[in-house]
Amino acid sequence: MSELQDQRAKIYVAGHQGLVGSAILRQLNKLGFSNIATRTSHELDLRDQAAVNTFFEAERPDYIFLAAARVGGILANSTYPAQFIYDNLMIATNVIHAACVYKARKLLNLGSSCIYPKLAPQPLKEEYLLTGPLEPTNRAYALAKIAAIELCDHYRTQYGCNFISAMPTNLYGPGDNFDLQSSHVLPALMSKIVAAKHAGAAAVEIWGTGQPLREFLYVDDLADACIFLMKHFDDPGPINVGTGVDLSIRNLAELICEIADYGGELVFDSSKPDGTPRKLMDVSRLTAIGWQARTSLREGIQKTLAWYLSEHRLSGLLSKTS
């Protein structure tokens, strides 16, 4: 087992400025790892194979956290499917191949719960992968993430590479994307509700019926899980990372309103797409090897809201954030 124990080992965090990568970087620093290579997307375009190979030849990382990706919500996925499949295929192909060529000890590939079929049984077990049609609104992104899992497994089979794939559920936390044109549901709701509070608006409009069920994982918990898996997991195929608990979009919006102290009406626009009816991860495999999430949804939303208000200099806006 190629455990991440030596704090002198060279670690490459791909996508270190993103939601997931920045959380992994925070956790590594907290644990005393200091030999960490990072590059911004301007310094290193991971879609450029020659540039990736040059970087790997110079840095020779022992451990790689592949957290770089083009990500977004339903609107972004539906509007830019070619960019989503191309960028994510190129990033995964170049980094995974270079990790093999330059003999990295281990790579952790990060995917998404959207890899599973739209109407797969719930909760989602790892073996449901490729058993049915995908959700059309994020098919391009999902296919790229499935391809990355296949790359890891086939490089393992053919070359003996210790490449693993973790599939997190819906993520949120400090550093999230709150742009309504490209964000996921939780930060989008938070942004809308804070804006309504700030404007004194009587109502907030929300896409869809509010009925779909979603599971949410605080990003620092995911970072902890990634380092745990890098130390203790060496199997092929995806492993789910989540809380094993879900709630409706309506209930999520109501919880954010409560935490944000907003008393306006929630208006659901059923003409807008709901996406997959339910996405709940079966996390029994991860639990069995000794990891489970620590941060409750309420606590995570409180922390995320406090960060968001601070970033937008709105800390004095609300009378309470808990």
Which residues belong to the active site? 141
- Residue 16 counted as an annotated binding residue: yes
- Residue 192 counted as an annotated binding residue: yes
DSSP count for the chain of H helices, then E strands: 10, 12
- Residue 171 counted as an annotated binding residue: yes
- Residue 168 counted as an annotated binding residue: yes
Phi-psi region of 57 (alpha: psi -120 to 50; beta: other; left: phi over 0): alpha
Three-state helix/strand/coil letters over 48-64: CHHHHHHHHHHHCCCEE
- Residue 145 counted as an annotated binding residue: yes
How many alpha carbons fall within 13 Å on the CB side of residue 224? Answer: 13
Can you tell me the distance from the alpha carbon of 293 to that of 314, in angstroms, rounded to the nearest whole number?
30
For residues 135 and 276, is the Cβ–Cβ distance under 8 A? Answer: yes
- Residue 112 counted as an annotated binding residue: yes
- Residue 93 counted as an annotated binding residue: no
- Residue 170 counted as an annotated binding residue: yes
For residues 37 and 98, is the Cβ–Cβ distance under 8 A? Answer: no
- Residue 210 counted as an annotated binding residue: no
Own/partner long-range contacts of 293-297 (Cβ < 8 Å, ≥24 apart): 293/217, 293/218, 293/221, 293/225, 293/242, 293/243, 294/221, 294/224, 295/218, 295/220, 295/221, 297/216, 297/243, 297/245, 297/247, 297/255
The helix, strand and coil proportions of the chain, stated in percent and rounded to the nearest 5, come to 45, 15, 40
- Residue 169 counted as an annotated binding residue: yes
Tokens of 184: 């996921």
- Extract the runs of DSSP E, i.e. beta strands, from the chain: 11-14, 36-37, 63-66, 106-110, 163-168, 170-172, 203-207, 213-218, 238-241, 246-248, 265-269, 278-279
* Single-letter code of the amino acid located at 247: L
- Residue 106 counted as an annotated binding residue: no
- Residue 200 counted as an annotated binding residue: no
Q: Which residues are annotated binding-site positions for substrate?
A: 192, 207, 214, 274
**Bind-site residues for NADP(+):** 15-21, 110-113, 145, 168-171, 184
Question: Which residues does the annotation place in the binding site?
Answer: 15-21, 110-113, 145, 168-171, 184, 192, 207, 214, 274
